[in-house]
A and B are shown apart, each in its own frame.
Chain A
Amino acid sequence: MTVRALQQISTGRNGVGTFILQCKKMDFHYCDWAGSSKGMNGFIKSLLPKFAASNAQVEFAVSPRPSKHPVIIAQYINGREKSICVRNMEPYEILKKAEILRDGSGEKNRRTAKPVQSINESVRGVWSPYHGNGLKV
Chain B
Amino acid sequence: METIVTRPVVSCCRQAVLSAPTSSRLVLSSSTAVPSGIRQKSTAARTRKALNIPPHGSFLNPNSSAADRNARPTTGQIIYNPPSSAASVFHTPFKFLPKQDPRRRANLASELFAASTTINYPSPTNNPTQATQPDSTSPSSQSPTDLFPSIEGEPRYRARHHLTKADIEEMRRLRAADPVANSVQNLSLRFRCSKLFVLMCCQAPSGHREKVQAELEATKARWGPRRAAARDERRARMGMLFRGEL
- Using a CB–CB cutoff of 8 Å, the interface residues on chain A facing chain B are 6, 121, 124-137
Contacts and interface: CB of A to CB of B under 8 A. Distances in A.
A125 B24 CA distance: 28
Interface string B68-108: 00000000000000111111100000000000000000000
A126 B122 CA distance: 20
Interface residues of B, number: 29
A124 B83 contact: yes
B224 to A, nearest CB: 34
B16 A125 contact: no
Contacts of A133: 12, 82, 84, 120, 122, 131-132, 135
Interface of B: 11-13, 15-16, 19-20, 23-26, 53, 56, 82-88, 119-120, 122, 128-129, 131-132, 135, 243
A64 to B, nearest CB: 58
A6 B11 CA distance: 36
Contacts of B122: 133
Given A6-B243, A125-B88, A131-B119, A137 B26 contact: yes
B132 A135 contact: yes
Given A129-B13, A130-B11, A131-B119, A136 B19 contact: yes
Contacts of B243: 6
Contacts, number: 66
B11 A137 contact: no
Contacts of A126: 85-86
Given A132-B119, A136-B131, A125 B12 contact: no
The 10 A-B pairs with the shortest beta carbon distances in the complex, nearest first, are A132-B84, A125-B85, A134-B12, A124-B83, A134-B16, A131-B84, A128-B85, A133-B131, A133-B12, A129-B13
Contacts of B24: 137
Contacts of B84: 127-129, 131-134
Contacts of A6: 243
